Structure 1
Amino acid sequence: MTYIDQLKRESQLKKTPKRIISLVPSQTELLVDLGLESAIVGVTKFCVHPKHLRMSKAVVGGTKQINIDKIIALQPDIILCNKEENTKEIIDSLKEIAPIHISDIYNLEDCYELIHMYGKMFNIERTTSTLIKNLQLEREAFKQKFQNTEKLKVAYFIWKQPWMVAASNNFIDVMINEAGFENGFKAQKRYPEIDIESSELNEIDAIFLSSEPFPFKAEHVLEFQKKFPEKTVKIVDGELFSWYGSRLLKSYQYFKTLHPST
């Protein structure tokens, strides 16, 4: 059987994979929610959902560094990766071990496509179709309620020293808009460094400090609030803005809490 991943790479599989290694936390959670937990043999140290998984599965490293010997010993049928989260060096080092499926997510259609691909590859198309339908229903319900809401302009910080924000051409930017806000840095690309002393933040209505990858805390909220007393400053759940897959089912309910009218 031939399968195509999101980089248009072909993978040859003789049978439905029964031994899966996932090097992407959001995809690991997706596998579990699709009923494939028993087929997972290896995960990363960042695969924190569900919490018990790292106790029952082999931890083969992180998303940027892996233990090749552990992966070889696990004899995987397939290894699941992501273009942004895993390095080219990692993917190249795995090519001789097992077929590799690489995701590349920029928008919701990419998310649906990945879930659909997993449905075909793991022979669970009814389950994946149901998940996609439920995600679309959650999205539509949110849009119906907030479609006429004025969009506040936000700065979404992902890092400190240097200060970095999510700009355009990434999944977080899509989810900022999905949440009913406007990205104040949409004119820039990817994850630019910014100077918080500059005038760039003058037109911003709200400052979102993501809980990941930098672990912003209450002290950072106070730091920003002191500098920008007229702006709303809050810590937001980074997983619900950046994790694609089944976690999206929780995103739209969470987004409701970010609007003052709810």
Structure 2
Amino acid sequence: MKKTRLLLVFALAALVLVSGCMGSSSPQKSSKTASPSSTVVSSSTPTETKEVTCQCPKPKPYYPLTITDFAGRKVTIEKEPKRIVSLAPSITETLYFIGALDRVVGVTKFDDFPPGVQKGRTVVGGFSDPNIEVIASLKPDLIIGTSMHLKYVDKLEKIAPVVIIAPKNMDEVYKSIELLGKILNMSGEAEGVVQFMKAEVSSVEFRVANKTRPRVLFITWWNPLYVPGNGTFQDSLIELAGGENIFHDASGWAQVSLEEAVARNPEIIIFSAHSGATIDEICKSPLANTEAVKNGRIYFISDDNAISRPGPRLVDALKELSYFIHPEVYGYNFQPVSCPVEG
């Protein structure tokens, strides 16, 4: 009964507030002085009636909107973007997750998520070489690119406002999603995506907390050998997944020698799906002398795009890395990858 009465009180209060803003009349005691926002109406009855006109403020238009992008540029969006050209797969994926894919009219030839994303949309070129003429023909009202597209900004700005999105770590990925949500007047949807990602990250961190951190060698390309160093998503994801990147001291994408990798004796080796390596090559290489190969701790990433594109799917890559690095916290028992026995 208390709950019912409380709800009734809230409902009556809301009704009174709405009625006031609609300019409805209500009995009032007579007053000698009328406020500027009210009108006193004479009446032949003993009680005067005051008609109150509420001066409700009009909501401020959302656009034009001025934001600061990842390149430190002030960009003004005059109206709500309805025709967007995305110059990077990661941007297209982010727009999909916040529910704005229907606004995208142009994508790159490398866009492949969600499946069929190119269907019904114009391909505007590659990732690093957009076709300016094709973009202009689409008559976009917003173009979203990365730091790689800064060299094209002068030309692109003649077509539509240009926003640069270039996150370098997980926290900046969150900020990039929130920024896109703000630009599109979809902050609620964007915040929902961010909160989901943070919950997934926290779940992994909780599982691997206080676990011993095994030494991890992540190989993005086999010959020559390229590995992710400090400042890459792979490096930060390895740490979040409970591992230790043996080339964390390197900067960015680094070319290293097999001898140096062997000297650091990784306990786990993870290959990108398109690294070009085979088990046979690994077993015949100097890496055969590492603990990782001896113990069969060799893994291949299932989706290189998920782990390399700065967008919402990074949490999927994080979970897969944590399966490889700490399968015991999930109750998994991966079949060891063993080198063939000669003879």
Q: Normalized against structure 1, the TM-score is what?
A: 0.90
Q: What amino acid does structure 2 have at the position aligned with 1:34?
A: I
Q: Does residue 1:135 correspond to 2:194, yes or no? A: no
Q: 2:261 aligns with which of 200, 221, 231?
A: 200
Tell me the secondary structure at the aligned position of residue 253 of structure 2: coil
Q: Is the 8 A contact 1:224 1:233 kept in 2?
A: no
Q: Residues of 2 paired with 1:72 and 1:144: CA distance?
A: 48
By relative contact order (CA 8 Å, sep 6+), the higher-ranking structure is 1
* Cα distance in structure 2, aligned partners of 1:108 and 1:151: 20
- 2:104 corresponds to which of 23, 40, 51: 40
Q: What is the alpha-carbon distance in structure 2 between the residues aligned to residue 178 and residue 20 of structure 1?
A: 34
Letter in 1 for 2:278: H
Task: Name the stretch that deviates more: 139-148 or 241-250.
Answer: 241-250
Indicate which of 124, 129, 133 corresponds to 1:65. 129
Secondary structure, in 3 states, of the residue corresponding to 1:250?
helix
Distance 2:197 2:189 in 1: 13
1:221 aligns to 2:288 (yes or no)? no
From 217, 225, 237, the equivalent of 1:155 is: 217
CA distance in 2, matches of 1:87, 1:162: 28
Alpha-carbon distance, 1:251 to partner = 3.1
Partner of 1:185: 247
Who is 2:67 aligned against? 3
User: Which of 297, 306, 310 is the equivalent residue of 1:240?
Assistant: 306
**Counterpart Cα distance in 2 of 1:199 and 1:4:** 42
What is the deviation of 1:63? 0.7
Q: Secondary structure at the match of 2:118?
A: helix
CA distance in 2, matches of 1:253, 1:148: 17
Which secondary structure state, in structure 2, belongs to the residue aligned with residue 55 of structure 1? Answer: coil
Q: Distance in 1 between matches of 2:153 and 2:280?
A: 41
CA shift in 2, pair 1:88/1:130, >3 Å? closer
The secondary structure found in structure 1 opposite 2:254 is: coil
Cα distance between partner residues in 2 of 1:251 and 1:64? 24
| Residue in structure 2 matching 1:97, options 150, 159, 165 | 159
Q: Rg: which structure is higher?
A: 2
| d(CA) in 2 for partners of 1:54, 1:105 | 24
Offset at residue 260 of structure 1 (A): 3.1
Q: Any idea what the Cα deviations from partners look like across 1:170-197, whole Å, max 9, x if unmatched?
A: 222111212221111111111111121x
Asked if 1:260 is matched to 2:327, the reply is yes
Q: Is the 8 A contact 1:175 1:242 kept in 2?
A: no
Could you say what secondary structure the match of 1:54 adopts? coil
Q: Deviations over 1:182-226 (max 9, x none)?
A: 111111111111121x23332222222112xxx235x52331233
What is the aligned partner in structure 2 of residue 49 from structure 1? 113
Q: Indicate how the Cα distance of structure 1 residues 90 and 222 shifts in structure 2: closer, same or farther if over 3 A, else same.
A: farther
* Structure 2 counterpart of 1:112, from 150, 155, 174: 174
CA distance in 2, matches of 1:106, 1:57: 28
Matched pairs, number:
255
Alpha-carbon shift at residue 168 of structure 1 (Å): 0.7
Query: Partners of 1:249 and 1:17 in 2: how far apart?
Result: 28
Q: What is the Cα deviation at residue 99 of structure 1? A: 1.3
Give the deviation of 1:90 after TM superposition: 3.4
CA contact under 8 A between 1:221 and 1:235: conserved in structure 2? no
TM-score (norm 2): 0.70
Contact 1:42 1:60 in 2 (8 A): yes
Pairing 1:16–2:77 present: no
Q: State whether residues 20 and 76 of structure 1, in contact with CA within 8 Å, keep that contact through their aligned partners in structure 2.
A: yes
In the alignment, the residues of structure 2 paired with residue 243 and residue 64 of structure 1 have an alpha-carbon distance, to the nearest angstrom, of 15
Distance in 2 (CA, whole Å) between partners of 1:160 and 1:180 is: 24
Q: CA deviation at 1:123?
A: 0.5
Deviation track 1:133-183 (CA, whole Å, cap 9, x = no partner) reads 111111111111111221121222222443211111222211121222111
